[in-house]
Structure 1
Amino acid sequence: MPNPLVLAALSLLAAYLYSKLRYKRFQQYADFPQLPPSLLLGHLRYMGDYLAQGPADRHPDGVFMQMNKDLGRPPLVLVDLRPMSRPLVLVGNHEIAEQISKATKLYPTSAPKNDLAYMEPIIGPKSILTLHGEEWKTLRKGFNPGFAPQYLMTLLPCILDKTMSFSEHLDSFARTGDDFSLVSLGMNLTFDIIGMVVMGEDLRAQHADPSSQSELINLYRKILSTYTEDEADSPWWLNPRIALKRRRLGKRINAVIKAIIHRRHSTKSDNARNILSLALKDTEALTTQLVDEACDQIKTFLLAGHDTTSITIAWIMYELSLTPHALKAVRAELDAIFGPATGVAEVRDRLLSPGGPDALNSMKYISAVIKETLRLHPPAGTARMSTSGAGFTVRAPGGQEYCLDGMIVYNCETLIQRDPEVYGDSAESFVPERWIGQDNESPGKNSIESSSQIPPSAWRPFERGPRNCIGQEFATIELRVIIAAIARRYDFTKVGLGEVKMGGNGLPVTADGDRFEVQSELYNTQQITAKPVDGMRMKVKMV
């Protein structure tokens, strides 16, 4: 017969645990907008239902957008994922996002980034992405000169040389008529560019023969392939085999990069045009700590510098292929700047002339296309955190205050940058004109908002505040150069998912007056960053 005292103790314990669980689920964050939580599973019970409403492999932002819409688009939403992780606050309002990313007395360099332990093999433990406070500030200061606009313009020859190789590959696909992954082709290009820009190393990523490509590029391809699994951002103990593979590859990458650091330090030159040499210019002796820190930053720059730019160029060419008036405007602007010649060599000569920087700065419509593509398809996001008891509080537009201590805080750019309160009826549409200050009226469209009506904080693909992306100026220069080289030379056509719907007359079906309809919606998956599910399969032909 059970001991009555034991039964009583168990009953009290069960009552205590039940009371504690009820508090955490139903009272602790009761003031946050949220779906009705489950006692045992919080909001995890909804995830399967939301995933069933669309492709199961789509990026989490797709789920979060639908969840936010179902709740009436509140400025923030609580998503209780316990016991899998800490509660997540999904931020969809630019005013709240700005409070999280700005410097405060509590967090002088803005709220700390959330734990990125799963990415340590590819960015290192001392990455500029993960550090915060004075440690982050010192690192950022050391690398800032390499990303100054006046220095970046000296990198144009490198960007153009590698873009010419990219054009040769497009020429080849135009001749054969074969389809290809524009993301993969773009990644080879941007890997080659960032390798030269950051380290002065030719990674030969665009070489047709894989055996002729650098060891570093092959190692990066192998480690990146481990982040395309379903468990890409899961704790190591859920898939120890992948975690061990990443660690092994990460160590080999470290060895290659550290050898490059020592070589660049021993051959320092005042004329060196790479960020590593610039950072080491005043360094007399390399310490183990300095080499480790430099290695982690190079790994971070290689990852961020190749990945987001290649994704963006793929989405740009896709959006232009669906929007005839925008493609026409891009080509007209390039004609005005460069003349009628469409060859990459002619563009190269013009950009390398004394008037090259002015030519880049004249690309107003192209800059608007870049900005609008990044608004609709931000490739990367950022999550922050505040320690329990810190007292980190934000104020919503309606005056309600929310304490974010002990929570993951996700400034969801996809939500923020598609907010109809800011972008109106065209929030889901590709409208570059909104960024060039023109109130324009296109057939079948509502009035387009001018840039003066859009708060700066409502566009944040590079995030904002002290922790904004150090490479954003470089990325926009690189994108303008690539567009200038290829936009007039090639017509891109999507194949498979997201391809244009054709009418009985053999012509594309047009929607909203000046936009081609598609047979199916193209969507992103999570592969560290947000990438098109099929790698943006394209065919290309010469104009």
Structure 2
Amino acid sequence: MLKPIFLAALSLLIAYLYSKLKYKRFKQHARLPQMPSTLLLGHLKTLNDLINKGESDRHPDLLFSEMHKALGRPPIFFVDIRPVNRPLVIVSRHEIAEQISKASRAFPTSIPKTDMSYFLSLTGPTSILHAPDGKWKALRKRYSPAFAPKHLMTHLPCILEKTLIFVKHLDALAQTGEEFSFATLATNLTFDIIGAVVIDVDLEAQSLDPKHQGELVRLYSELFRTYWGDDFDIPWWLTPHVELKRHRLSKRIDVLMKDMIRRKYAEQQAHGGAKANKPRSILYLSLQDAENLSPELLDETCDQVKTFLLGGHDTVSSSISWVFYWLSRTPRALAAARSELDSLLGTEADPEAVCARLLSPGGPDTVHRMLYISAVIKETLRLQPPSATARYVEHGTGFTVRTPEGEDYCLDGTIIYNCESIIQRDPAVYGDSTDCFMPERWLSSAADGSNSNSNSNIPASAWRPFERGPRNCIGQEFAMIELRVIVAAIARRFDFTKVGLGELVLDENNQPVLGEDGSYGVKSQLYSTRQVNARPVDGMMMKVRLVPENS
């Protein structure tokens, strides 16, 4: 008797689950543009097919760009990756991205960011990156003075000091003619700079022998590598050995970091109220009003320092690598950049002379007057944004966006991904030259390199590598200053040549072939892969030579 009842109940359960799955796959988000879906796998099979059609390690944004084109470039589209993760809505128009990143009555600091617990080993649980609204406001207020433009310029001597070490490494490589990873050298440089700026410590990151680098750098680099690839955000229980390694490395980093913070706080207390020669580090400013270094404050400060180290070295090193890749491919842009530096800094390209000029009383103003250099950086960040933002609203919130065509879509219960790689190559904004490197398009925008296009036809919201709205990147102004200084120090001294992926096409006379867009043609396309953020897949392998004196 029980068997027929059990079978009937089982049949009803199967029918219910089938109808539920069918609804979620084919009806729940049917209004949103999307690729063909399957009942069991959703769009996972489509993604897998796309992966197999190209380089398997290319960044997910490149897959989304291919889907976007296949769908006819809709303003948003849907990607169902359940059960691996919540379903995704990819935003491909800046007007919609602005609705997501701006403050509103319902969301005073914009739509909440999606869960990023897989980053906790890198940033810590109290990081400003993960903080809820109330805590985020307090942290932003506490650290904002350290990122004020006027204060950031006090770090110019430090940036130049570290950059001179970088120049010496390039000098040595120019003599030997050997191939090297530009991204690796740049990462060591930016790690050195951010360590000095944030905690006023020499991290010894620029030693070419990893054994001679500081322990914190070695540990952080090892931890960072565990996040390379497309599987770093899968559930921890699928890769327990990786999670254990991250936990071990993170604990050791915390021990070293907290010891540094305690020592710096003790020095600060001993320093007292003396105004002369006060430290300028971000750590110093954040603790200057603290009556005592409580365990809670120590934990919180440690997490913010780790977060700034992450953001301050990774994205900048990737961006400077792409800057010199594009300059090496675009002779018009390289000549214009060098000409501007000649006019601002004099024709002496020796790094010591450049440093002396930038350290003079007029140095900060000179950095802000690098209009073409800023345009080069902005165009590089447009074509190769190092990161993006993902947000999430719970079911029942009723969060709705409106497309430029006037259609409304409720995005409750989905991960909302502002895909800068698509947004910043929108032909509706950038025209036929959307895939071309054209710094000139930014010359009518703000001279300070900020996210402002007051005199440009390009909407401000269409350029968002640091994202926008209340929870934009706190360090974006520092990144722009740092990038301009590095370009100023090396652009006139060295010529870079890409090897391997992205290598130039040469004619019968062994000369590069110039395309109609003003850039040299390449034998193969260099692309980004995911290593926490987007980075050149081969580490930007290059050769370098000194610029001839009479050139």
Q: TM class, shorter-chain normalised?
A: over 0.9
Q: Distance in 2 between matches of 1:129 and 1:301?
A: 10
Query: What does residue range 169-318 of structure 1 map to in structure 2 within 5 Å?
Result: 169-268=169-268, 269=271, 270=275, 271-318=278-325
CA contact 1:203–1:214 (8 Å) conserved in 2: yes
Structure 1 position 451, deviation (Å): 5.8
Offset from partner CA, 1:9-29 (integer Å, 9 cap, x none): 222112111111111111111
Offset from partner CA, 1:257-284 (integer Å, 9 cap, x none): 1111111111114510100011101111
Q: Distance in 2 between matches of 1:209 and 1:75?
A: 48
Which residue of structure 2 lines up, in the alignment, with residue 371 of structure 1? Answer: 378
Aligned residues: 533
Which residue of structure 1 lines up, in the alignment, with residue 450 of structure 2? Answer: none
Which residue of structure 1 lines up, in the alignment, with residue 436 of structure 2? Answer: 429
Question: What is the SS of the residue equivalent to 2:542?
Answer: strand
Paired residue type of 1:282: D
Paired residue type of 2:78: L
Question: What is the SS of the residue equivalent to 1:515?
Answer: coil
Paired residue type of 1:88: L
Question: What is the SS of the residue equivalent to 2:529?
Answer: strand
- Which runs of 5 or more residues in structure 1 are unaligned? 439-448
Q: Does 1:348 align with 2:355?
A: yes
Paired residue type of 1:368: A
Q: Does 1:456 align with 2:460?
A: yes
Q: Does 1:498 align with 2:505?
A: no
Which residue of structure 2 lines up, in the alignment, with residue 360 of structure 1? Answer: 367
Query: What does residue range 96-111 of structure 1 map to in structure 2 within 5 Å?
Result: 96-111=96-111
CA contact 2:495–2:546 (8 Å) conserved in 1: yes
Q: TM-score, normalised by structure 1?
A: 0.96
CA contact 1:113–1:132 (8 Å) conserved in 2: no
Which residue of structure 2 lines up, in the alignment, with residue 384 of structure 1? Answer: 391
Question: What is the SS of the residue equivalent to 1:539?
Answer: strand
Q: Does 1:74 align with 2:78?
A: no
Q: Distance in 1 between matches of 2:90 and 2:29?
A: 13
Q: TM-score, normalised by structure 2?
A: 0.95
Q: Distance in 2 between matches of 1:521 and 1:402?
A: 36
Question: What is the SS of the residue equivalent to 1:511?
Answer: coil
Structure 1 position 3, deviation (Å): 2.9
Which residue of structure 1 lines up, in the alignment, with residue 150 of structure 2? Answer: 150
Q: Does 1:474 align with 2:487?
A: no
Offset from partner CA, 1:380-400 (integer Å, 9 cap, x none): 111111112111111111111
Query: What does residue range 159-178 of structure 1 map to in structure 2 within 5 Å?
Result: 159-178=159-178
Q: Distance in 2 between matches of 1:210 and 1:27?
A: 54
For the aligned residues, what is the CA RMSD?
Answer: 1.4
CA contact 1:88–1:407 (8 Å) conserved in 2: yes
Offset from partner CA, 1:161-202 (integer Å, 9 cap, x none): 000000000000000001100000000000000000000000
Which residue of structure 2 lines up, in the alignment, with residue 442 of structure 1? Answer: none
Q: Distance in 2 between matches of 1:44 and 1:229?
A: 17
Offset from partner CA, 1:280-332 (integer Å, 9 cap, x none): 01111011111111110000000110000000000000000000000000000
Q: Distance in 1 between matches of 2:12 and 2:50?
A: 38
Q: Distance in 1 between matches of 2:499 and 2:177?
A: 12
Query: What does residue range 320-331 of structure 1 map to in structure 2 within 5 Å?
Result: 320-331=327-338
CA contact 2:497–2:542 (8 Å) conserved in 1: yes
Paired residue type of 1:412: C
CA contact 1:155–1:273 (8 Å) conserved in 2: yes
CA contact 1:457–1:464 (8 Å) conserved in 2: yes
Which residue of structure 2 lines up, in the alignment, with residue 444 of structure 1? Answer: none
Q: Distance in 1 between matches of 2:413 and 2:148?
A: 36
Which residue of structure 1 lines up, in the alignment, with residue 33 of structure 2? Answer: 33
Structure 1 position 406, deviation (Å): 1.2
Identify the match of residue 488 of structure 2 among 475, 479, 484.
Answer: 484
Deviates more, 1:209-218 or 1:406-415: 209-218
Paired residue type of 2:389: T
Which residue of structure 2 lines up, in the alignment, with residue 113 of structure 1? Answer: 113
Q: Distance in 1 between matches of 2:33 and 2:427?
A: 19
Q: Does 1:337 align with 2:352?
A: no
Structure 1 position 462, deviation (Å): 0.1
Structure 1 position 430, deviation (Å): 0.5
CA contact 1:76–1:90 (8 Å) conserved in 2: yes
Q: Distance in 2 between matches of 1:421 and 1:209?
A: 48
Offset from partner CA, 1:190-245 (integer Å, 9 cap, x none): 00000000000000111244343211111111111211245222221111101100
Structure 1 position 122, deviation (Å): 0.7
Identify the match of residue 403 of structure 1 among 391, 407, 410.
Answer: 410
Question: What is the SS of the residue equivalent to 1:3?
Answer: helix
Q: Distance in 2 between matches of 1:72 and 1:208?
A: 48
Paired residue type of 2:497: T
Paired residue type of 1:519: K
Q: Distance in 2 between matches of 1:241 and 1:4?
A: 46
Paired residue type of 2:169: H
Which residue of structure 2 lines up, in the alignment, with residue 445 of structure 1? Answer: none
- Which runs of 5 or more residues in structure 2 are unaligned? 446-452
Structure 1 position 455, deviation (Å): 0.4
Q: Distance in 2 between matches of 1:280 and 1:264?
A: 10
Which residue of structure 2 lines up, in the alignment, with residue 523 of structure 1? Answer: 527
Deviates more, 1:460-469 or 1:206-215: 206-215
Q: Distance in 2 between matches of 1:458 and 1:504?
A: 41
Q: Distance in 1 between matches of 2:16 and 2:225?
A: 46
Q: Distance in 2 between matches of 1:97 and 1:514?
A: 31
Q: Distance in 2 between matches of 1:227 and 1:127?
A: 18
Which residue of structure 2 lines up, in the alignment, with residue 11 of structure 1? Answer: 11
Q: Distance in 1 between matches of 2:475 and 2:59?
A: 24
The 1:282–1:378 alpha-carbon spacing in structure 2 relative to 1, beyond 3 Å, is: same
The 1:229–1:423 alpha-carbon spacing in structure 2 relative to 1, beyond 3 Å, is: closer
CA contact 1:435–1:450 (8 Å) conserved in 2: no
Paired residue type of 2:326: E
CA contact 1:491–1:542 (8 Å) conserved in 2: yes
CA contact 2:402–2:409 (8 Å) conserved in 1: yes
Structure 1 position 30, deviation (Å): 1.0
CA contact 1:232–1:527 (8 Å) conserved in 2: no
Q: Distance in 1 between matches of 2:341 and 2:543?
A: 23
Which residue of structure 2 lines up, in the alignment, with residue 541 of structure 1? Answer: 545
Offset from partner CA, 1:387-436 (integer Å, 9 cap, x none): 12111111111111111111111100000000001111011110100001
CA contact 2:84–2:234 (8 Å) conserved in 1: no
CA contact 1:200–1:274 (8 Å) conserved in 2: yes
Q: Percent identity over the alignment?
A: 58
Q: Distance in 2 between matches of 1:308 and 1:541?
A: 26
